[in-house]
Structure 1
Amino acid sequence: MSDFFNLYQQGLVRAAVCVPEVRIANPPANAAATIALARRAHEAGALIALFPELGLTAYSNDDLFHQQPLLDAALAALAQVVEASRALRPLIAVGLPLRLDGRLFNGAVAVHAGRILGVTPKSYLPNDREFYEKRQFAAAEALLSQNTELLGQAVPVGPDLLFEASTLPGLILHMELCEDLWAPIPPSTDAAMAGATVLLNLSASNITIGKASYRNALCAAQSGKCLAAYLYSAAGPGESTTDLAWDGHAVIFEQDRLLAESERFPGNAQMITADIDLERLHQERLRATSFSDSIRAHRERLEHMRRVRFSPELPSGDLGLQRAIERFPFVPADSAERDAQCYEAYNIQVHGLAKRLQATGIERLVIGVSGGLDSTQALLVAARTMDRLGLPRTHILAYTMPGFATSSETRANALALMQALGTQAEEIDIRPSCMQMLADIGHPFAADELVYDVTFENVQAGERTSHLFRLANHHNALVLGTGDLSEIALGWSTYGVGDQMSHYNVNASVPKTLIQYLIRWVIASDHFDGTTHAILQAILDTEISPELVPAHAGGLDSAATSGLQSTEAKIGPYDLQDFNTYWISRYGLRPSKVAFLAWHAWHDKTQGLWPENLPEARRHEYDLPEIKRWLEVFLLRFFQLSQFKRSCLPNGPKVGSGGSLSPRGDWRAPSDAEAAIWLQELHEKIPEIDTPEQQG
């Protein structure tokens, strides 16, 4: 089980970006500072240690770069780094001036385990405003040779070098220098298309007002477009301030997501680390057709990229995880980002429904309101849609339809909400029609036998749906669906009834965890009056339940703390199941990898950020046995039992980048697939349940 908790065995790599305190024109001192930080990276378990541009001499030497003693000392400093690397694990990317083919180049050198893997000269030399690098250096295109001898080693040279780790599948690195990123087509673009997953930028980059945010934007965009990680190290303390200043900015991005960022304007050397998910990047590239098309379009020049292999020793044991894993991947912990996403999600739903009504020429909606989360959100969307279309809210024909297990609390909430929103509100007791149906089919319940089976449940669900569709016929209206993405993923719906079938479903790609926050956002945004907000809060405080079977029914999984049938006791906590839906449907990760991520996200509720306003009762911890148990439930239901329901989903707008499960959208799958290989992988990788604490 120790392998399970090792990040390298889960397809991740730890990277370090280092900003040493340099001394101008003092390569011996700079070599010592570089080696000290490289040792720190080694001790942190990193396989990559990135340093700034010309870090072995300092960047701000100007015409001193043409002094023979400085160039000789720089080469001697590189020899020190190479020798020290024999005892270190990481690939070390360092910068220094190098004489090649009778010219001087601003070079990046990859060093590993006593070997110089390659040299990448800078391709684009800035020569405007405060920069005049062409005064000292030649650009990469001036190289005459593809190989050179450096410190007695035969070394490949050029901007076309990829460094591939033979011991860690998917780790392929490329180096570029500072201004290369500012060019319209950076060298790293070709490198990524040729297979590089981690792009390294050795930079100096003096600081001016606003430049740091522009750097971040460039790194984010390049990592996003290239479906790669992008590491950037700018020069820091010790550089000359004769005419410029330096902020020592270091960042690690993964596909436009900031994983780590250094303190700016540090007084001393510093290092940041983060864990990059190589498997996730590869999964993204498998799906991105435009990425593949770009490779095909530029195949000729990509074929000339050269690969240099190296064999880093992978650290063993549990190194922890230096990467933020959102507990709620559909709900950002950052309040500003969350509010922005709620605004977009809500308006996407409203826009989608408004267009459907306009397209059909129908001005009325029929909706079943249970007093639960999903129908509440759909009703809020319906109300805002009517407002936007200039139609009265009485065009919403809202019905609550109590059955055999409907609680007085949810019934009261449903009636109160319909009235507060100004809809046409009515109640239809479905128990008489259900009794007739049960009697017609000879069900024991009709003969006063308390049989609470699937038939008993589905008769109620079917009766509600039958009423809604016939009411829509009668009033020339559309039936508004309420089933959410979480229920669709798990197949927690009755085939052909309201939570699976409708004329249009605004919740189809909205998971349960996001619906909870959409309702909280509506309250916080004062979209409706105080009375409505109070009712919405009461609905949020109610346990999630289908209310089809009394909680006391024999043999039924139910919550011990309420009088309601508990959905989450049957199919698992929506916290975990939404997590599973995101990582498996969006990225196609191995189940054991999803369990690894879930454990790091959920095993300690005192660590990491919770979304604001989340009640303490919803702040759970889940240990590995519980994570594995509910993941097994998810895998069986998602891959084997539920696809036939997804294959005939009604129309509804895609809301989030996390995807939808519409057969016309993000997910197409056979209805008769088997879940065996997913379950087998989970059981083989987690045969026994031991946490690192139990192992220790």
Structure 2
Amino acid sequence: MGRLVTVATCSLNQWAMDFEGNTSRIIESIHQAKAKGARLRVGPELEICGYTCQDHFGEPDLYMHCLEMLARILSDRSCYDILLDIGVPIQHRNVYYNCRVICLNGKILFIRPKMFLANDGNYREMRFFTPWMRPTEHEEYHLPLILQKLQGSTHVLFGDCVISTPDTCLGAETCEEMWIPDPPHAHMSLDGVEIITNSSGSHFSLQKLDVRLKLISEATRKCGGIYLYANQQGCDGERLYFDGCALILCNGQVLAQGSQFSLNDVEVITATIDIEEVRAYRSSISRRMQAAMSPRKYHRIQTSFELSPEEYDMDLMQRPTLPREPRYHSVEEEIALCAGCYLWDYLRRSGTAGYLVPLSGGIDSCATAVIVYSMCRLVIDAMKGGNMKVIEDVARIAPGIKVPETAEELCNRIFHTVYMGMSKQSSVDTRRRARDLSAAINSYHVNLDIDTVYEAQKGLITSTLGFEPKFKVEGGSETENLMLQNIQARTRMVTAYEFAQILPTTRARPGGGSLLVLGSANVGESLRGYLTKYDCSSADINPIGSIDKADLKRFIAWAEVNFDLPCLHEFLTAIPTAELEPLTETYVQSDEADMGMTYDELTTFGRLRKVHKLGPYGMFARLVHDWAPDRERGPNDHQPVYEPAVIAMKVKHFFHHYAINRHKMTTLTPALHCNDYSPDDNRFDLRPFLYPRLWESWSFKRIDSHLAKLEEVKKKKARMMQSQAARTP
């Protein structure tokens, strides 16, 4: 056995602009790392200020406060005797950088700026920061006065350097740098760096952990070495949920893995590793030759601090950490855990009294309600586990004589559901499903009808214009039909907010307050624009706004079993309907019929539009192959089968409605980000909201010309087959 090193990394539930709170969590993580015997502690990206400060990163105040908090950490002697890697934004020569500050015993060893910035999807780092564009180069950073006094000097090194200790060498990279084709860790490894730290602000999306872990695993499998991954965890103040899951890997194997979803504010993981294993792993001829040939040499900053002091080796009880299999959650578990953790963070930090969901009796509002119930289950589990912060938050948010002991008890205090029916439009089944779900999870339920408000609004048209609008099934026009549906939809939004404000008072809740209204529009409906602007899709937060119908159904089927909610089965078999038109013996409104496409087709359109970046013509050209009747299909291939003319019609229909409803996306309720084809215009999907008439556009004309060629080829093949058949005796 060689020299053993114990290292620590962490996930912190930071909050944008909460400088003191973030700093206290950083210090707590340092204390936990030291208590576990670690000599190196790595924290998340921009951990002092929080990752999602957005345009606050353009304010000098933020940088001043971050340095003040850094000075607080450096001057705290309880944070001594451990090498610290801390995420701080730094202004250097009037340029803003996203930095790692490497420090030891109250002194800064050097500052390492981020070299490759994340600037797509949810990320706008180039808006705030400048990348360091000089690999392996460094210069001097002039310390502000508050740090000069602690440092005992006026300058420290700033740039792309590494730390050399008597027993090993370590370097830092930040988040995006791990994902690029030519990552810094490869060059550092070739120059003899044995420990790589990665401090991240990586957000959650469904099944993303698999990709993240593969990248780290392959990095250490190819290069050898120890890799410490730190990440934010929780709602930092935006639509994103940072899913933690701190990791320690060595030579391609997982040694330690933190939780991906947790209500803990601070979570530290450690591993003890024999540094000689890295050297032995790198001893192959090919790796040695690459290292010798590598032109990129790093400036080594020397320190006498050892990560594996001799007294550690004398402890016969110390053993290297054994490899373990990585842990993954299913999509259904991710929805339950991620959305539940996010909602709890949002609730406890917003200062409100709870949540309200308008229950329609359909699967979307059902899924939102079950997610809140999942949140309550997580909170109760954390309380039973002795999480004092959660216990304090519950006492503040849900005060009462008795502390809630079950998810159902907590649900009844902080969760409110409202069924808003119409006598002619609402079915007995939807009203009953809403009531049964509320009873199963024990939400505070209100059952009401909005007929009087609807009739009053409808009466305004008749009394003012002398015109009585009618539904389509009653002989009215499409315009009348749509207006009458929208009166109901918008009335429900107003009613939801009325009850959200007054319910805590009518229930004599201490402190009163108001409730946050949760939306229930799924990603497909938002993409298609199948919603009324300022109806019940308008809310404070939408937990399912970037989850498609198929995943929601899988989640409900999972929750039926795992949450022991048999009433959910009826939601799975019910036909999706808005119930905004009168029910008759021969007509029941259907969402998919109204949209002119299935939810599965919507998911396909959404992925091709956003993830694959296809416009109308590109999407048609792709689907002609994917949905072709003669395409070879595997056992799990459930793609529909359509002729090219039908595909052309469907693609045009989708883009037509997408374009004319784009304005709705600008007012869409901020949705928890869960999928990379989300149409959320607030931050993620930045596109125009006024389009030219697509039916006259060049894109649609190109579809028509392509379709004409396909039809001609089809006819030519048919004539050839007829000719061959005629010649066959």
TM range (shorter): 0.3 to 0.5
* TM superposition score normalised by structure 2: 0.44
* TM superposition score normalised by structure 1: 0.46
